[in-house]
Amino acid sequence: MSPSEQVDRKQLRRELRARRRALGAGERRLAERRFARNLRRELGPRRARHVAVYHAADGELSPLPGLAQRRFQGTRLYLPVLDPVYRGRLRFHLWRREKRLRANRFGIGEPRCAERARADWALDVLLIPLVGFDDRGHRLGMGGGFYDRTLANFARRPRRPRLVGVAFECQRLSRVPEAPWDQPLDLIITDSRN
């Protein structure tokens, strides 16, 4: 990746984050409904017992209405937690809805570390919040490299979750300038209307 592409990434990230934050409440509700339908359709009938989600922040599309559907009734949900030991890495802890979350250093809610964790490779589906994406499955995230490091691990594993990016259609780009460490996603699910 050339230095100018690095600048592009930063600039793109800023613009796309502003774009998703600018969506109004009505647009968001509609987008979440469409996402719910697309999620059901795209995941197909295969059972997903252990699904990592995220606690929507910074204008992100909330995946929760999608996961409240009947199809996900026995599904356990996990949230990313900034690893207190391995800096820059994520752990996935069980999200029990009756328990209060705790804000991490970015102000995003996390389960307490006492909640059960599941090894990332043993999840069935990993929902990844995207800042930008393109048709080839390349993604732009918040820039901390947290998901990058998680994804890099899967290359050496026989078992891994389905890697599913989540974004609004307005975050689609013709091409994400790719970084050498980028791992393409299996699937990107948006609020597309059909």
Ligand X SMILES: Nc1nc2c(c(=O)[nH]1)N(C=O)[C@@H](CNc1ccc(C(=O)N[C@@H](CCC(=O)O)C(=O)O)cc1)CN2
Binding site for ligand X (CB under 6 A): 54-57, 60, 80, 90, 106, 108, 129, 141-144, 146-147
CA dist 87 → 33, 55, 91, 122 (Å): 36, 20, 11, 21
135-167 as b/e: b if 16+ CB within 10 A: eebbbbbbeeebbbbbbeebeeeeebbbbbbbb
187 binds, among ligand ATP, ligand X, none (CB under 5 to 8 A by kind): none
Could you say which of 40, 149, 162, 172 contacts ligand ATP (CB under 6 A)? Answer: 149
Residues 69-88 that bind ligand ATP (CB under 6 A): none
152 binds, among ligand ATP, ligand X, none (CB under 5 to 8 A by kind): ligand ATP
CA dist., res. 189 & res. 163, Å (int): 11
Task: Assess contact for 189 and 164: CB atoms under 8 A.
Answer: yes
129 binds, among ligand ATP, ligand X, none (CB under 5 to 8 A by kind): ligand X
Q: Decide if residue 148 touches ligand ATP (CB under 6 A).
A: yes
List interacting residues with ligand ATP (CB under 6 A).
9, 140-149, 152, 179, 181
